[in-house]
Structure 1
Amino acid sequence: MRVYVILTVVLTYVSICRGQVHFGDDPPANNQQDDTSDRLGLLAGTLGVAAVPTTGQNSFNPAGSQATRQAGCFCHPSNQECPAGTQTRGTQRRTTTSNRIANAPGEDCPGQKVCCSGGATNLPIQRGPSPAGPIIQQDCGVQGSFPRSPNPLEASFGEFPWMTVILEQNNKFIGGGALISNDWILTAAHKVQQYISRPQSLKIRIGDFDVSRADENPQFPHVEVAVQQIIIHPQFDPSKLSNDVALLRLSRPVDRRNSPHIERVCLPDQGQTFSPQRCWVTGWGEESFQGGNVGSTGGGKLNKVDVPIWDPFVCQERLREAGRDRPSIGPNYNLDMTSWLCAGGEPGKDACSGDGGAPLVCEGSDGRFAVVGLVAWGLGCGQQNVPGVYVNVPSYVNFIRQNTGI
């Protein structure tokens, strides 16, 4: 039997984009919304553990239980040997009824992972219910086995190895994306629509962690690959941002065999649902790219925040309530549940301003991660019971597979 220590946590707001704690304009009326309403970064609070509800009523308690684990241990895929100088340590498996560790150290390893002793101490472990079951695909969705950061608000090198940066060739920041195969990137259509006739003006940076440093890990450098082709969903509506999905084909495949810090994320099944589950969204934040360019500040480490997936009808009601006095929403707002899903709605924890198109990923019961959403829009940022809105990736899996062959 597990015993959890119940903590009352004082919320400490940390804006990843340093002051950019709200996102742009509200969605225009009639479910229309312009691309200045982009949710582009992260806001994170020290919330400890938040329990996942089982009733579909997404009223999450900001305080919860927090578990600790033995020091000197990090999670590693169970089908691989622990790195040299470490050894396998007995590990309890996560159950589907356990709470999710939210930005805090955990006591065990998720899914098909083992605990390797001898690594860094005080490592946060992602743990939580996976109602979606296992991710059937192979060769995808596995986190890197690098030591974890002691900072619960900061991702670790290789922890989200599918995260990519979309740049112009002159290093101007465009947005975020997810590596879904050796030569395809998934992102939001409104981020790249203007480049569809000139895809070569874009490049993708893969395997980066601290965008302010060029030599953060010489043994595992990031790679940059030019974009060869842009495919936008044929029913993308830039005025409403419906069907806001794009695929970027790389000019050459990425060599993942010799790059343990680079991995593709799995795709979910067409129409698969992940509510209620806690998932992760990552980003650098707008001010990591001072002047709109990579490599110009000292605060460019990748950040992460865990957010709960909402029932879409509950989300629609919350958006109606939050936007009842706004002409762009109002009490009769209808959420396009094909185009969008909702996540977040906890105070101080949200995607806000800095990385449009960045992936929202959920863990399957086998420990693999699938891309479920892409950062899109919302009302305000980090407000209680006001979820953010993400591109609903499971609605577009057939489109993705038909155009990429994966």
Structure 2
Amino acid sequence: MNVFIIFAIFVGFSSASHICLDSPCSSFNVEADIVLVVDSSNAFSQVVFEQIRAFIYKFVNTLTISPIDSQVAIYAYGTSAQSVISLTGGSQISQLLGAINSTLKYQGSLEKNLFQALAKVSAEVTTNSGLRNADYKKILVVISGEKWTGNQVIGSSILTQLQQTYNILSVGVGSNSITDQASDLINLPGVTGNTFFAASLDQLAYISAWIASNSCSGTPSSTIAPPSTPLPSQSPSVSCPLGSLNYDVYLILDVSNAASAADFAAMKSAVLDFIAPFPVADGKTQFALVTTGMDSELYYTAFHKGQSRSDIINAVSNLLQDTTSGQTLNTALYAAQSYLSLNYSTQNKILVYFTSTTAWDVSPISTMQTLKSKYQVSPLAVQWGAKAATSDLTNFAGSNCVNTYSNKQNSAVWLQQKMCSKVFC
């Protein structure tokens, strides 16, 4: 799905299962050259690595593998980079499945040398080894569990070259990918919407559909920012000029099916109304975005990287709703922590949570208290749906920091005035 990041995600942390579930393109009719680069280090236990191997095996079985349909090359990285199978070999399903079963090796190493693997991809995946013409989409998927070692990947000439050839998708698996390297995984693709964070292994099935969705011929390989829109006037009920404020705002938005489609669309409009009057820029208010449903995803919005209003407005506008229930807010908080832990100099930090449910898989209260204490971030909650228990939201954010369901139409102004008053819980 478009991230972003997605988990977030995961942390745009993307944003992943939403698009794949609604995509008109299935993996069966994908026609693409797909290169998988898999972390085989001790970021994963051998048991977890075997589950990732099984996921890859199932994923390629959903594709139509042939020299005129989809081809898959596989690389792995740890202490060294391993060439598992080329695109030519990966155009035959029997060879591909055999390589996944017998050639893809678990290294279990301390080293996590992704740079070396990307260098091998750059050198080896050519027309001589099966790379086809521009009629076939080029997809490079990096599956990672922890922060990389070795040469710097982000900003390297190797990565820049690959970004020009491939639509790069980054997948973070496990909580360490969220807490230790969310920023790198978000920046790896070079465009918004190409990161998926799976905090738990039961989310691997969604990754399969997400990769297929992004491999469809109609899916864009880059994100073009929309034309800038005029800065709207703020409400006269807001007591300070919003342009004078300097906040980091961590948005966490419920994308589960707890809300009706109409209510979900209305929630997005309320979020956009909240954002719209701010002249978003470095040195002014900026917005990070995490979505939460049965998975949580951190979206790339150029947060603290020259963010503009269009970056965050475009990301929110393009959000799609999950077709499933459930919410992983605790995971979403870890996604937000990936940015909080970078300790930006912004003094004012708030976490704004819009939700229609409090059917959390794990209680987020302790995690929120830790973030509040460690990073001085203040939570605010918007009770968008009646299914979200007021008592739960009060425990999460504080008694005077919940905008209740009866006042949800005034959510934007309520949040803006909270920022003006700087009175939190």
Task: Provide the TM-score with structure 1 as the length reference.
Answer: 0.23
**Whose strand fraction is larger, Structure 1's or Structure 2's?**
1
**Whose helix fraction is larger, Structure 1's or Structure 2's?**
2
Tell which structure's C-alpha radius of gyration is larger.
Answer: 2
Task: Provide the TM-score with structure 2 as the length reference.
Answer: 0.22
